[in-house]
Amino acid sequence: MFCTSCGHEVKPGSAFCTACGAPVQQPDAASDTVAAAHEEPEAAPQESAAPEVPVPDETPAPTDAPGAPEEPQGKTSRRGLVIALVAAAVVIVVAAAAFLLRPQGTATVSGIDGATQASIVTRIRPQGEDEVFLTSYRVRLYALSAANDKLAEELAREAKESEPVREVRVTGDGGFTFADMDDVPDGGYLVVIVDNDTEIEQELIVEYAEDNDYAVDEIVVTPPAEGDDAAKDEPAEDVDPRAASYALYLAKCQELINTYGEGTAIDIWGGSGRAATGLVLAQTIDFNGDGLEELLVVYTTSNLADSFQVTEDTYRVEVWAFDPEGGEDGEGSIALVHEQRTSYTNGGMTFLTQYVRDNKVYLFFDGYDTIDYAAEGLPESTVRYIEGLWGMQEDQTFAKVLETWNQYDYEVPGGAFDRYFLNGGEAAADAYEAEAAQYMNASTYNFLEFSQYSDGGVNSLGSSGQSEARYSVDQTLQITRDTLALLEAGAGAADNDAPAASDA
């Protein structure tokens, strides 16, 4: 059979051409059968009929009596000899051609544009970017589908969606062979080589047969050169996930502004207080330390200028996270990953406090807990005050890393007690205090304040004695304006045509 792309003769059953690497269109067995059925059978040689000669009964025919004409024996022998000699010559020529055309030696492969022929003894040796042979790497073998109407890259992508059929670890610069893997069936394979030092992957496609007449002795695998087709599926270097996230964060902020208004400060309590309305706080913070910031927003859900009534739900706190591979087009999306309420005092001050540990930011929470009295077997005179810290996990979810309960029955004097929790599990008081000391107060942002706090400054929160920066209402609103300017500049041109703000 022959390659329909370049015309080179290929071995029956091969998935790829050994000359050009193109997929081989396998002949349709049913068509061959039909064609064979329609071939005219070769006419059998006919013998001449012997003329009738009267012969007397019991009288032997004369030896020279005319009989059936016979083909001379010598002619038949010579024709058979000629056919045998021609057939032998063809066999010799084909065998010699196969031997001479066998692609012995070393093949250098970079990427997955075509297939390279391999046998059980073909040695595969990968190189790094410095053209030095790798000495520590993993090899994964994926079976290719039998579809010959697909490009090599399509076959490779489909193969990687399945589990590898073989996986080995290699040390030393001597490479590996299919003999190093356990009984690999003949067929087409995607070979993925992963450098243990850099985790960089290299890929090649091989047409493998244990006894492959077309196999090379050695395959040297080199990293794809910049601009090679093999690297075209890699993310473009100029794609900046931060710019993409900033465009989406800016769209979310604009959505909140359109709904609740721009951040604005108003006087309350006859001028003795100050309150922020609208989008009162926007910050970009890398909560989990993965290198990509999340968006923290705080906004009001009611128009405080018309009727100033503050409840625990007046200010909403939300955190939005960016997924670089999300969205219908795979260009990124954001989703709501955390929400909580703000803190407030009996005097009416409302604020949000942040703590820091190991360069990660944690959100302080406090307030009165809702108790299921029947389920917990507690009298309805029981009160539980809780406070602690929310922290973001690697999977972008938030969990309580610290929590304390101050619980008491106001009808039972002296019945108060405390409980302590670390990462969701109850802990002893001394263990809790030792862990809590690792978290440092960083900053507090006021949303509602008495006028004497309008200059901000440094304030001590709680009984820890750790100092923090406290931002007044006006300072908090300025931080929001600075964040919006940062998002607009970081998003670049994308802010003029921002995609949908969220998946939520």
Supply the pLDDT for residue 405. Answer: 93
**How many other CB atoms are found less than 10 A from the CB of residue 204?**
27
pLDDT at 75 over 90: no
Q: How far apart are CA 83 and CA 26, in angstroms?
A: 31
Contact of 447 with 275, CB cutoff 8 Å: yes
**Which of the pair, 403 or 41, is modelled with greater confidence?**
403
Contact of 406 with 385, CB cutoff 8 Å: yes
Instruction: Give the distance, in angstroms, between the CA of residue 382 and the centroid of all CA atoms in the same chain.
Output: 50
Supply the pLDDT for residue 136. Answer: 94
Whole-structure pTM value: 0.52
For 228, the token pair is 């090679």
Average pLDDT of the residues in 90-117:
64
Q: How far apart are CA 279 and CA 52, in angstroms?
A: 122
* Burial degree of 355 (CB within 10 A; 0-12, 13-18, 19+): buried
For 235, the token pair is 């993310």
pLDDT at 41 over 90: no
Beta-sheet strand order (sheet of 315-323)? 279-285, 294-300, 315-323, 333-341
With bands split at pLDDT 50, 70 and 90, how would you rate the model's confidence at 215?
A: confident
Contact of 401 with 423, CB cutoff 8 Å: yes
Give percent of the chain with pLDDT exceeding 90: 40
pLDDT at 76 over 80: no
Q: How far apart are CA 145 and CA 194, in angstroms?
A: 22
Per mean pLDDT, which range of 87-96, 114-123, 179-188, 380-389 is the poorest?
87-96
Instruction: Give the distance, in angstroms, between the CA of residue 198 and the centroid of all CA atoms in the same chain.
Output: 18
Q: How far is CA 278 from CA 251, 257, 262, 334, in A?
A: 16, 7, 5, 21
Supply the pLDDT for residue 326. Answer: 87
**Which of the pair, 241 or 100, is modelled with greater confidence?**
241
Supply the pLDDT for residue 502. Answer: 43
pLDDT at 454 over 50: yes
Supply the pLDDT for residue 112. Answer: 76
- Supply the DSSP string of 39-64, one letter for each residue: SPPPPPPPPPPPPP----TT-PPPTT
Supply the pLDDT for residue 150. Answer: 55
Q: Which of 110-119, 343-352, 354-363, 408-417 has the highest mean pLDDT?
A: 354-363
Give per-residue pLDDT as tens, 368-385.
Answer: 888 898 999 989 999 999
Q: How far apart are CA 149 and CA 278, in angstroms?
A: 58
Residue 399, φ and ψ in degrees, nearest 5: -140, 155
Count of alpha carbons within 13 Å of 315, Cβ hemisphere only? 26
With bands split at pLDDT 50, 70 and 90, how would you rate the model's confidence at 500?
A: very low
Task: Convert 129-140 into a string of H (helix), E (strand) and C (coil).
Answer: CCCCECCEEEEE
pLDDT at 132 over 50: yes
With bands split at pLDDT 50, 70 and 90, how would you rate the model's confidence at 162?
A: confident
Contact of 23 with 152, CB cutoff 8 Å: yes
pLDDT at 13 over 80: no
In the chain, DSSP finds a helix count (H) and a strand count (E) of: 7, 24
pLDDT at 410 over 50: yes
pLDDT at 48 over 90: no
Q: Which of 485, 480, 488 is nearest to 281 (CA)?
A: 480
Q: How far is CA 399 from CA 287, 338, 467, 471, in A?
A: 12, 9, 25, 26
Q: How far apart are CA 362 and CA 390, in angstroms?
A: 6
With bands split at pLDDT 50, 70 and 90, how would you rate the model's confidence at 18?
A: low
Supply the pLDDT for residue 370. Answer: 87
pLDDT at 92 over 60: no
Cβ contacts of 305 within 8 Å, gap of 6 or more: 264, 266, 277
Instruction: Give the residues across from 163 on adjacent strands.
Output: none
With bands split at pLDDT 50, 70 and 90, how would you rate the model's confidence at 357?
A: very high
**Which of the pair, 280 or 88, is modelled with greater confidence?**
280
Please say whether the dihedral angle defined by the alpha carbons of residues 460, 464, 466 and 470, taken in this order, is positive or negative. negative
What is the chain's mean pLDDT, rounded?
77
pLDDT at 36 over 60: no
Give percent of the chain with pLDDT exceeding 70: 67
Give per-residue pLDDT as tens, 230-284.
Answer: 444 444 445 578 899 999 999 999 999 999 999 999 988 778 888 999 999 999 9
Contact of 464 with 265, CB cutoff 8 Å: no
Amino acid at 7: G
pLDDT at 483 over 90: yes
**How many other CB atoms are found less than 10 A from the CB of residue 287?**
23
Contact of 326 with 332, CB cutoff 8 Å: yes
pLDDT at 139 over 80: yes
Supply the pLDDT for residue 435. Answer: 94
With bands split at pLDDT 50, 70 and 90, how would you rate the model's confidence at 450?
A: confident
* Burial degree of 391 (CB within 10 A; 0-12, 13-18, 19+): buried
With bands split at pLDDT 50, 70 and 90, how would you rate the model's confidence at 441?
A: confident
